[in-house]
């Protein structure tokens, strides 16, 4: 199998009705607090993203997803929105966002932003009005309920971050619901007026030119109007860190009417053209909701679950099972995939504990980019950044603080991006950042990797450009030839193109069995020494070929 670095692949037909720009697009997630600080306060900002737009374009991704930058008290770092239509001053201004959008579009990058439709901050003007009385115009915009006769909360529902999902409010003499922090009151999305207000806020950003939305925790957006108690869930065999884990969440989330609201969201976004909508679907068995929220072209474009985000091991079985749920026609729904994000420990630290993290990072990035669907690459994943062990005194995440030391929390994945060795803070800021940097992150920064053709960064760039140029990797059918042990083989076909991806997810070499024949032309490889030869697949290696 000789290396062929010059071959030309079929030209895809992007942007057509069959393949709108977003289908198979690779999206790069930016956590704005930790991307680039330009004003010296130790917190990343929108001008920082604009400043790094050339770098983002050089990666070869189709677009960026920016986590919340809306006005917020930051109790949950932007996922507690106080104003859906304004930028929080720590991130900049609306004019800064407009400049960011213009810079992205000038480089051919799409911009996707979060929409938090399940709850707001308790500092939102809607909630301030709602809590004043039981008969004001927004009295029914949040989920309010009388106490039980003994004064206890209306249901047994538990909050994700610990404790009851209800907080008493003396003004209304009622409890209000919150699936997350008490400062994140639950919107009553059953109310048509609330739905319209949320759609109007989305229209505000569409009118500015955004190209899509990631819908945060959308399966939490509607509750059971009968307020029935959740059934208990046997804790046997599971790690329990919070009361939330002791219930089946059948009544505080996942109401079947959510799909009707999503049809309204789709109607709005379709009126603006090829806008990408992707849902975050949490829970132990999300597949049914993912299909319901994306099927038939009348709801959202895509959805992703936590198939990989909290997985303790990276195995061929897990990849085959997750991808195996999405191998049918496009009408059944279109998946998105993430191995790491701002809520989950970085995958290279969860799945690998050996001395060559760079080799393993190339492997995980290659598998992610070989899947059928939309890969979502989290900032720093292209560098192989590791999870940072943040000490208790430096913790910012309310979940980590509440559950310490029983949970890793989210701070270790949210630490600042590593740009260079330029100062003590790896080029992220001129002052102490809001979270500490990883001890070795400056050593694997962008500047350190740029000039090394064998770096994780440049390998990932090559794979991104390979995927962009391959119809099979972008849209092709997917199959999994039988392979032993830690060997994962993915076959992608589209028209006359066949791409075979061979991965060894284990620490020992594996012999490629008879019947699996890679293509004649090697498109990209990692971990093969001088070049692929024979049928022995080295540990943690990548081989992608084409007929």
> Which amino acids are annotated catalytic?
216, 280
The encoded tokens of residue 393 equal: 């005194």
The encoded tokens of residue 282 equal: 């949490």
C-beta separation of 165 from 252 below 8 A:
yes
Interatomic CA distance for residues 519 and 506, integer angstroms: 23
The rounded Cα 124 to chain-centroid distance in angstroms is 25
DSSP state, residue 378: E
Strand partners, 498: 493
DSSP state, residue 251: S
Where in 143-217 does DSSP place strands (E)?
A: 144-145, 166-169, 174-177, 212-215
CB atoms under 10 Å from CB of 99, counted, come to: 17
Residue with the two structure tokens 């930028």: 87
Region of residue 87 (left: phi > 0; alpha: psi -120 to 50; beta: else): beta
CB atoms under 10 Å from CB of 179, counted, come to: 24
Helices 192-208, 258-270: axis angle to 10 degrees equals 30
Could you give the dihedral angle defined by the CA atoms of residues 263, 269, 272 and 276, in that order, rounded to the nearest 10 degrees? Answer: -130
Interatomic CA distance for residues 316 and 396, integer angstroms: 35
Compute and round to an integer the Cα radius of gyration of the chain: 23
C-beta separation of 115 from 213 below 8 A:
yes
C-beta separation of 541 from 363 below 8 A:
yes
The encoded tokens of residue 406 equal: 């029983």
Interatomic CA distance for residues 67 and 76, integer angstroms: 12
Task: Tell me the H-state helices in 243-312.
Answer: 258-270, 287-294
Q: How far is CA 170 from CA 152, 156, 174, 510, in A?
A: 14, 20, 7, 65
C-beta separation of 275 from 203 below 8 A:
no
The encoded tokens of residue 116 equal: 């938090």
Q: How far is CA 74 from CA 20, 79, 123, 167, 379, in A?
A: 36, 8, 11, 19, 21
Q: Which residues of 121-150 are buried (b: 16+ CB within 10 A; e: fewer)?
A: bbbbebbeebbeeeeeebbbbbbbeeeeee
Interatomic CA distance for residues 82 and 217, integer angstroms: 17
């Amino acid at each position: 199998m000789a290396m062929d670095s010059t071959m030309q692949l079929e030209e895809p037909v992007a942007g057509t009705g069959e393949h709108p720009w977003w289908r198979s697009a690779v999206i790069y997630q930016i956590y704005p607090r930790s991307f680039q600080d330009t004003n010296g306060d130790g917190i990343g900002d929108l001008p920082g993203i604009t400043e790094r737009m050339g770098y983002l374009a050089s990666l070869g991704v189709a677009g960026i997803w920016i986590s919340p930058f809306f006005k917020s008290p930051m109790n949950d770092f932007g996922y507690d929105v106080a104003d859906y239509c304004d930028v929080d001053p720590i991130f900049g201004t609306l004019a800064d966002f407009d400049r960011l959008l213009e810079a992205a579009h000038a480089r051919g990058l799409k911009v996707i932003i979060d929409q938090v439709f399940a709850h707001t901050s308790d500092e939102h003007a809607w909630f301030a009005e709602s809590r004043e009385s039981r008969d004001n115009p927004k009295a029914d915009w949040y989920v309010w309920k009388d106490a039980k006769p003994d004064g206890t909360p209306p249901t047994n529902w538990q909050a994700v971050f610990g404790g009851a999902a209800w907080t008493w409010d003396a003004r209304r003499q009622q409890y209000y619901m919150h699936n997350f922090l008490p400062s994140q009151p639950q919107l009553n999305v059953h109310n048509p007026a609330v739905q319209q207000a949320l759609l109007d806020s989305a229209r505000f950003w569409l009118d500015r030119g955004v190209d899509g939305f990631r819908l945060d925790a959308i399966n939490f957006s509607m509750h059971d109007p009968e307020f029935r108690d959740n059934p208990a869930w046997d804790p046997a065999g599971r790690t329990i860190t919070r009361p939330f884990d002791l219930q089946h969440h059948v009544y505080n989330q996942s109401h079947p009417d959510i799909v009707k609201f999503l049809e309204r969201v789709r109607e709005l976004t379709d009126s603006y053209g090829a806008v990408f909508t992707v849902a975050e679907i949490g829970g132990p068995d999300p597949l049914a909701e993912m299909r319901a929220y994306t099927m038939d072209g009348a709801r959202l474009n895509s959805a992703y679950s936590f198939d990989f985000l909290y997985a303790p091991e990276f195995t061929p079985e897990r990849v085959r099972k997750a991808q195996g749920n999405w191998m049918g026609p496009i009408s059944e729904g279109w998946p998105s995939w993430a191995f790491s994000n701002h809520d989950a420990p970085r995958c290279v630290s969860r799945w690998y504990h050996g001395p060559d993290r760079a080799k393993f990072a190339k492997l995980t990035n290659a598998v992610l980019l070989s899947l059928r669907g939309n890969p979502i690459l989290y900032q720093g994943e292209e560098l192989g950044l590791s999870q940072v062990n943040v000490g208790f005194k430096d913790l910012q995440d309310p979940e980590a603080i509440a559950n310490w030391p029983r949970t890793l929390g989210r701070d270790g994945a949210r630490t600042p991006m590593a740009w260079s060795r330029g100062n003590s803070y790896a080029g992220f800021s001129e002052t102490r950042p809001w979270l500490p940097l990883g001890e070795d992150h400056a050593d694997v920064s962008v500047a350190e990797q740029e000039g090394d053709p064998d770096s994780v960064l440049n390998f990932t760039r090559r794979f991104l450009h390979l995927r962009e140029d391959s119809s099979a990797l972008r849209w092709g059918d997917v199959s999994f030839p039988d392979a032993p042990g830690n060997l994962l083989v993915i076959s992608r076909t589209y028209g006359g193109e066949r791409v075979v991806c061979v991965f060894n997810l284990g620490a020992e070499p594996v012999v490629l069995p008879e019947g699996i024949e890679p293509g004649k032309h090697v498109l990209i490889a990692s971990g093969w020494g001088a070049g692929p030869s024979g049928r022995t697949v080295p540990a943690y290696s990548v081989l992608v070929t084409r007929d």
